[in-house]
């Protein structure tokens, strides 16, 4: 089986690729940012430098590598999307269309799409379930809802085995792209390096958080589930419980680095964006249909994050 990962050189994609390589699968990484040392020593991976906004490039990579499964992760995040909504439409919306068309034309067996909690814009005190109405106000969320609905249409119209998850705010080492919630991983990295860090959110800010290893596991579990058991098709996958505040994250980090210089200086623009994000996102349908369960607590997340990050900086 050949697995294509769009955005495969990114934060999630590169780790997902390594998991499939460990399973002995052939992996094709499609990304504008691929470089020769990304999977150094791996013989079962093909690196393709390509642009998701180019239909021809997407069609060619699927055809040339006889792809069986596509994980469509390529996209830009909410803060960058708000700064350039036209790029967001080209990359997040049209890129998804190109992937689904390639799947239709070349008989791809399965397409797995990463959507987001950004597809919801609700009062932060609302508990979000798979039944909650999606009504995004930011262009990022608009394109994610478009991707979900287009994928479900391709499933109904053309028989594409389309599946998706809505990711909460992820925590993991070496995130490079700015996002409203990226203070979480960056404050941990700053503590490890002994550098000061200023959190741009209020201390009582609550975001639905999930460790990267749980996110990768959710994608693999959804991939492995027999299609006959899937009814919802696009799933919320939940979060670390109980929901930690920004102060809770800082306090947990300070258990390991008591002298960490972490302060709070609120950015009004970030505060507005963060205010539209709910505190709790439930994963009822994923739990029921494919046995999903979040395994990393906040303390587990911080411990493993520090361990993994140190391996990249020492």
* DSSP track, 38-100: TTTT-SSEEEEE--TT-HHHHHHHHHHTT-SEEEE-----HHHHHH-HHHHIIIIIIHHHHHH
Phi, psi (deg, nearest 5) at residue 280: -130, 130
Average pLDDT over the chain, rounded to an integer:
94
* 72-108 tens-digit pLDDT: 999 998 888 989 999 999 999 999 999 999 999 999 9
Res 309 pLDDT > 90: yes
Instruction: Determine contact, residues 238/283, Cβ cutoff 8 Å.
Output: yes
Q: Given a cut of 80, is residue 125 above it in pLDDT?
A: no
Residue range 243-286, pLDDT digits in tens: 999 999 999 999 999 999 999 999 998 888 788 788 899 999 99
Residues 62 and 185: their CA atoms lie apart, in Å, by 34
* Phi, psi angles (nearest 5°) of residue 164: -155, 160
List Cα–Cα distances, 113 to 164, 184, 257, in angstroms.
Answer: 4, 24, 37
Provide the b/e sequence for 198-207 (b: ≥16 CB within 10 Å). ebbbbeebbb
Count Cβ atoms below 10 Å from residue 142 Cβ, excluding itself: 22
Please give the average per-residue pLDDT across 234-246, as a whole number: 96
Q: What is the pLDDT of residue 36?
A: 73
CA distance 77 to 141: 9
Q: How confident is the model at residue 28 (pLDDT cuts 50, 70, 90)?
A: very high
Q: What is the pLDDT of residue 289?
A: 98
pTM of the model: 0.94
User: How far is it, in rounded angstroms, from Cα 312 to Cα 314?
Assistant: 6
The string of DSSP letters for 232-267 reads: S-EEE----SSPPBHHHHHHHHHHH-TT--EEE---
In the chain, the largest separation of any two C-alpha atoms, in whole Å, equals 58
Cα(222)–Cα(243) distance, integer angstroms: 24
Domains of the chain, by residue range, sit at 2-170+209-239+279-288
Residue 124 has pLDDT above 70, yes or no: no
So what's the pLDDT on residue 131?
Answer: 94
Q: Cα separation of 145 and 125, whole Å?
A: 22
pLDDT value at position 155?
A: 98
User: What dotted CATH number matches 2-170+209-239+279-288?
Assistant: 3.40.50.720
Q: What is the pLDDT of residue 279?
A: 87
142-199 pLDDT per residue, tens = 999 999 999 999 999 999 999 999 999 999 999 887 778 899 999 999 999 999 999 9
């Amino acid at each position: 089986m050949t697995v294509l990962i769009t955005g495969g050189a990114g934060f999630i994609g590169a780790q997902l690729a390594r998991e499939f390589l460990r399973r002995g699968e052939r992996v094709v990484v499609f990304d504008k940012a691929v470089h020769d040392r990304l999977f150094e020593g791996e013989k079962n991976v093909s690196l393709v430098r390509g642009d998701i906004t180019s239909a021809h490039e997407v069609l060619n990579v699927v055809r040339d590598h006889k792809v069986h499964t596509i994980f469509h992760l390529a996209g830009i995040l909410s803060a960058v999307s708000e700064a350039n909504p036209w790029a967001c439409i080209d990359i997040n919306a049209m890129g998804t269309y190109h992937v689904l068309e390639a799947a239709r034309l070349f008989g791809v067996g399965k397409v797995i799409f990463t959507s987001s909690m950004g597809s919801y814009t609700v009062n932060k005190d609302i508990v979000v379930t798979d039944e909650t109405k999606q009504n995004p106000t930011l262009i990022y969320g608009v394109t994610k809802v478009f991707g979900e609905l287009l994928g479900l249409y391709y499933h109904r119209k053309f028989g594409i085995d389309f599946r998706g998850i809505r990711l909460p705010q992820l925590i993991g080492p070496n995130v490079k792209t700015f996002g409203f919630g990226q203070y979480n991983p960056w404050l941990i990295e700053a503590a490890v390096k002994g550098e000061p860090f200023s959190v741009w959110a209020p201390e009582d800010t609550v975001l639905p958080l999930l460790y990267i290893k749980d996110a990768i596991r959710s994608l693999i579990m959804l991939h492995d589930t027999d299609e006959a058991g899937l009814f919802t098709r696009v799933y919320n996958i939940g979060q670390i419980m109980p929901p930690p505040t920004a102060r809770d994250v800082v306090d947990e980090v300070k258990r390991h680095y008591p002298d960490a210089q972490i302060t709070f200086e609120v950015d009004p623009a970030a505060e507005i964006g963060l205010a539209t994000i709910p505190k709790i996102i439930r994963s009822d349908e994923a739990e029921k249909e494919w046995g999903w369960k979040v395994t990393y607590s906040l303390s587990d997340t911080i411990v493993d994050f520090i361990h993994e990050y140190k391996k990249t900086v020492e």
